[in-house]
Amino acid sequence: MEQAKTREKVRVRVKVKKGPSLGVKLMSSVLIIGALSASYWLLTQKPPATANTAPTRLSDEQHYSSERAIVLPADDGVHGARTERWAYRGLLQDQDGKRYMLQLGIQLTEVGLRQTRFYLSLQDLQTGQIINRQQQVTGLASQAGVNGFAFQHEGWKIGGEDRQHLLAVQERGLTLKLQLQDSHNAMIHQLPSSPYPGLLQAQGSARIHLYSRPSMHTQGELALEGRTLRLSGGMWFDHLWGDINSGDESWTWINLDLGEQGQLLVFDWKGANNTPLLRFASWQQEGRLIPLEGDRVSLTPLERPGSWSLRLDQQTWQLQSNTPPIDTELSGQGREQLGQFVLVNTPPGGHGLFEIHHARQASTAKPAARP
């Protein structure tokens, strides 16, 4: 699908007179080609290419620096930022064709004492049954090597390096083991205003690093209530680190699988008192990243509960959820992190996960997405 954007045609007219040498003709051709290439780049307004050809190691100084591009697989690991997340979201299917939405991840916070939080939420999309498992540890429950990450605490073991990840959870009657494999390069998010691939500048001095693996082939087993389910499907992996304060700030996060039309991430980050910090979308089509930011992206709750209108430039899609939201935040906290499985009801169609993180509401009504 082409970007919904009118591009002015660039025409270069060249008047060739008799007499120039072959060398002059060749030089003229080179200049013409160069002018056309430069004009096309300016019109498309695409960021520089983000091929994963970076070195596999970083010095300690480079690793903890916030003023640089993402380097993989070295940046798979821990960075010591205020907030860092390794998040998996996806749609899995068992041997009988039943579908499940899985949210699983790790969140590190460095506000006051360092905390490592493990969370898992599994929703049966046939019955609506929700299973939650969580653990929180003071300190860093990580055994990372030079590259990659490896978190382990009691029955939780979550790790990965580059394109291969392993998720294992054994907690209160639930045993989950999944292997994830990515056959594509990572989706390194970059906006026209980004100084480096993967570095996103918000209002003020706040900034984050973010990359994704939106199409990780997943297979494994789930043992629960005396049954063993063979699971397969696709998971979306996001790794974010930076200046997010999960205590005072809020965000809306959307991951969508649009089938042949690619993958889409939408992120709307707000500070204290609902102050806008950063709103952008990354749309990946056949390895090409289309970035949109600011007023080119909007999200509006509709009258029907669990439905939203998502606009990217001149294109508008309707998102609809028919399942209750899942709170993956720790119970007793002043925050809630609500995730819902959503369908794209307008072409090109698709499905994904809608996540809202904000102050816990006094009522139990379904939250409305913030524009």
Rounded to whole angstroms, the Cα distance separating 146 from 71 reads 13
What pLDDT does 247 receive? 62
Name the residue ranges covered by the structural domains of the chain.
Answer: 71-359
Selection from 69, 220, 63 nearest residue 149 by Cα: 63
Q: What is the DSSP string of 318-336?
A: EEE--S--EE-SPTT-SEE
For the chain, the residue count is 371
What pLDDT does 246 receive? 62
Whole-structure pTM value: 0.80
What pLDDT does 195 receive? 87
Q: What angle is formed at CA 74 by the lines to CA 207 and CA 47, rounded to 5 degrees?
A: 50
Other beta carbons less than 10 A from residue 27's beta carbon = 12
- Burial of 356 from C-beta contacts in 10 A (0-12 / 13-18 / 19+): buried
What pLDDT does 359 receive? 58
What pLDDT does 36 receive? 38
Peptide bond into 73 cis (omega under 30): yes
What pLDDT does 335 receive? 64
- Specify the residue for token string 């970035």: 291
What pLDDT does 243 receive? 84
Architecture of domain 71-359: Beta Barrel (2.40)
220: helix, strand or coil = strand
278 close to 203: Cβ distance less than 8 angstroms: yes
Residue-wise over 207-228: b if at least 16 C-beta within 10 A, else e? bbbbbbbbbbebebebeeeeee
Question: What is the mean pLDDT for each group of 10 consecutive residues in the chain (371 residues)?
Answer: 40 43 45 38 36 52 75 91 93 96 92 86 92 91 77 95 96 96 94 90 88 97 94 97 78 92 93 87 90 92 91 92 78 68 91 80 41 32
Residue 184's identity, in one-letter code, is H
Rounded to whole angstroms, the Cα distance separating 235 from 247 reads 27
186 close to 72: Cβ distance less than 8 angstroms: yes
